[in-house]
Amino acid sequence: MRTPVRTDSPAGRPVSPAAPETPDGTVHGAVPKKSAARPACTEPRPVAEEGIRLRITREIADDLAVDALSRDRAGKPPFDEAARLREAGLPGLLTPPGPARRGTDWRTACAVIREIAAADSSIGELLARHYVLSWSARFFSTPERADGIELRSVAEQWLWGGSTDIPDLEPAAGPDLTLTPAGGGYVLHGCKALAAGVQVADRLMLGAVCAESGESLVVCVDPAHPGVVADAEHDRLGQRLTGAGRLSFDGVPVPADQVLGAVPHDEHAVSPFATLAPLALRLALVHVGLGTAEGALAEARDIDRAASRSRPATGADDGAYPDAYSDAYPDVYSGRTGADPYQLLAYGELVTAAQTAAAVVESATEALARGLLAGQELGVDERADIAVLVAAAEAVTSRAAMDITTRVLELIQGADSPAGALGFDRFWRNARLLTAQASPTHALRDIGDHYLNGTHPALTLRV
């Protein structure tokens, strides 16, 4: 029996109630998992209008929501998920807008990321990092070089991975990645831990240090080279399907035309526009966290509604929800009427928290969108205002996401529910891992310093 799909979620997408697994590992009422051998099409679907963009997003969100729980529990590398994204043409869609090619502006891209994250938080993060990295050539290179890289990225449906974070050089430890001049280009050595895309990225954007000059360079690398070895990270607390892990580089050639540019170590010499790179990543991940919270809240609501109709007062089954759930897990589904005042209060508080976070996030999104449009004309003051708004979005969303996913877990599963019956623990685990990447304390301190003393957050390329 297929699980009925409800179509009135806050994110505007159908939400399938998470289904409990049977002892043999199958899922009641779920569509069978897609084969990992599913081929990816080479040509992206036409994306000419905003309505079509949103339809494509909803289609793939619905597709990912169906088997999100079983895939999360399996924790396998996201080969199948990446194939689904390429089939939908999403990697090409989530690239910067430009002449003679498809692309998505910052606001629309964030809406796409957030909706995908509501269905599958891991894939939302994979896409968020892809989109921000696809801007790297604009941040660190010339317009001509950026246009060439973006055109090829769209044509070949590249899914980007990597990190342009340039760490502070510590003599004792040294940089993670080094470049040695060779044959007019460089040779790359070292290891780098990545939060996403280790095994599925088509191209890597990386920050590395020249071993001779000490320059920090941003380079593009093909991970298909035999000198690149991927070591996937298994058994993560959350975000299990992002493809996290470590990459080792042993004599990987980097041609001169794949070097985007040098990054000054002196913050006064860094372009304010280039320093939008870490802010863009932080805000994109905020959208992932917000989408995760909204997805948890929507699924909880849908399950509560369906469960309250599964056992009418007459004892008859109105067919609104499969008997497989209510019969197998009576302690989860019994007595849920939707009229408990404490339950209504809880939902009211959680919806208000989500909407409050969304308002703060939208303000930061608009500001960053204007900064990206300004390009190299972006000033230091404007960049400071953007940084403060992004910090506020991080602080508010971090708290809201943890509160919502924790309380939803309590509301739906409770202390007496079968372990993992509905899989709402995955929302909490994903939110916990996402929020651990940024400290609300540091964000709030920067906001207070800016408000009280007019201090500008540091111009930095560190996330």
pLDDT tens figures, 332-347: 444 445 568 988 999 9
- Determine the average pLDDT of the residues in 419-448: 87
Q: What is the dihedral of CA 113, 196, 373, 219, to 10 degrees?
A: -160
Q: pLDDT at residue 25 above 50?
A: no
Q: pLDDT at residue 378 above 50?
A: yes
pLDDT tens figures, 210-254: 999 999 999 999 999 999 999 999 889 999 999 999 999 999 999
- Determine the average pLDDT of the residues in 372-382: 96
Distances in Å between the Cα of 289 and the Cα atoms of 183, 185, 436, 438 are 44, 40, 11, 12
- Determine the average pLDDT of the residues in 66-94: 94
pLDDT at position 339, please?
66
Largest CA distance in the chain: 82
pLDDT interval class at 300 (50, 70, 90): very high
Q: What is the dihedral of CA 66, 69, 72, 78, to 10 degrees?
A: -10
Q: Which of 31-45, 222-236, 348-362 has the least mean pLDDT?
A: 31-45
- Determine the average pLDDT of the residues in 250-262: 96
Yes or no: say if 61 and 12 are a contact pair by the CB < 8 Å rule. Answer: no
Q: DSSP H helical segments within 184-333, as ranges?
A: 276-310, 323-328, 330-333
Please give the Cα distance from 364 to 358 (Å, whole number). Answer: 10
Token pair listed for 181: 């001049």
The amino acid sitting at 138 is R
Mind listing the domains of the chain with CATH numbers? 161-266 (2.40.110.10), 276-453 (1.20.140.10)
In the numeric block, the tokens 């505007």 are attached to: 12
Pick from 31-45, 48-62, 292-306 the range whose average pLDDT is largest: 292-306
pLDDT at position 167, please?
62
Q: pLDDT at residue 19 above 60?
A: no
Let me know the angle formed at the C-alpha of 110 by 107 and 113, rounded to the nearest 5 degrees: 155
Burial of 358 (0-12, 13-18, 19+ CB in 10 A): buried
Q: What is the dihedral of CA 357, 398, 140, 123, to 10 degrees?
A: -90
Q: Which residue has the higher pLDDT, 319 or 266?
A: 266
- Determine the average pLDDT of the residues in 35-58: 56
Q: pLDDT at residue 64 above 90?
A: yes
